[in-house]
């Protein structure tokens, strides 16, 4: 549609990548601008502040998450298959997680020590997954679906963090396999 959206999307895409690989505080607006070959002043026209750009980046991630979850719902009617699809998503990102950590987890860790507004924004990504997982566990007939949802996220985050710290892909695979065993052991309906 509008031409403007193209530049804006390019900025958000580049910022998403750089915020992930370098961290939010370690990435300057000049870094983002030069990454896509525009000037700082131009970027400022599209996003008046770095915070505003971060918000766009988080929204970009949120939309991607929402779309993925919707897709999974369509593809997998079975609750356990849905849970395993979640685990598979983590596995698919193995090399990125090893090098840069979990994009959701590390951003939350970094922004948690900034202003509260950013902290809440970043947490929304977790909520997206947490609510979806909760729904799945409820579908399986579990009363403590909230607890189970957070438990699964907790295990996945721990696995991602450890494999990042040790740059160890095998560690991630091992831990994810443990999570799958846990899923298998769950009662259903």
Placement of tokens 């052991």 in the chain = 185
Placement of tokens 């970009």 in the chain = 60
Question: Taking CB under 8 A as the rule, which mask of x and - marks residues 2-41 in contact with a second copy?
Answer: -------------------xxx-xx---------------
Sign of the CA dihedral running 54, 106, 112, 127: positive
- List 16, 27, 106, 108, residue binding DNA (CB under 7 A): 27
Q: What angle do CA 27, 31, 36 make, to 5 degrees?
A: 130
Judged by beta carbon distances under 5 to 8 A according to partner kind, the member of a second copy, DNA, none in contact with residue 188 is none
DSSP annotation string for 160-178: HHHHHHTT-HHHHHHHHHH
- Token pair recorded at residue 138: 């409820």
Judged by beta carbon distances under 5 to 8 A according to partner kind, the member of DNA, a second copy, none in contact with residue 3 is DNA
Q: Is the CB of 119 or the CB of 150 nearer to DNA?
A: 119
Q: What's the min distance (Å) between Cβ of 45 and DNA?
A: 3
Q: What's the min distance (Å) between Cβ of 19 and DNA?
A: 11
- CB within 8 Å of 43: residues ≥ 6 apart: 11, 29, 32, 33, 53
- List 13, 17, 29, 55, residue binding DNA (CB under 7 A): 29
Q: Is the CB of 16 or the CB of 106 nearer to a second copy?
A: 106
- φ/ψ region of 2 (left if φ > 0, alpha if ψ in -120 to 50, else beta) reads beta
Q: Is the CB of 46 or the CB of 150 nearer to a second copy?
A: 150
The answer to the question of residue 37 lying near DNA (CB under 7 A) is: yes
Using CB under 7 A, list all residues that contact DNA: 2-4, 7, 27-31, 37-42, 44-46, 48-51
């Amino acid at each position: 549609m509008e031409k403007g959206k193209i530049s804006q999307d390019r900025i958000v895409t580049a910022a998403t990548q750089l915020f992930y690989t370098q961290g939010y505080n370690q990435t300057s607006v000049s870094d983002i601008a030069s990454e896509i070959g525009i000037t700082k002043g131009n970027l400022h026209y599209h996003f008046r502040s770095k915070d505003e750009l971060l918000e766009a980046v988080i929204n970009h991630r949120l939309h991607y998450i929402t779309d993925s979850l919707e897709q999974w719902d369509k593809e997998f009617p079975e609750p356990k298959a849905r849970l395993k699809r979640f685990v598979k998503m983590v596995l698919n990102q193995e090399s990125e997680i090893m090098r840069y950590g979990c994009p959701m987890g590390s951003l939350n860790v970094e922004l948690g020590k900034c202003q509260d507004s950013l902290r809440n924004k970043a947490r929304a990504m977790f909520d997206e997954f947490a609510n979806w997982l909760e729904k799945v566990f409820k579908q399986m007939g579990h009363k403590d679906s909230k607890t189970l949802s957070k438990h699964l996220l907790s295990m996945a985050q721990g696995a991602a963090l450890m494999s990042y710290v040790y740059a160890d892909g095998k560690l991630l695979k091992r831990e994810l396999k443990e999570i799958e065993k846990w899923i298998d052991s769950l009662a259903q309906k």
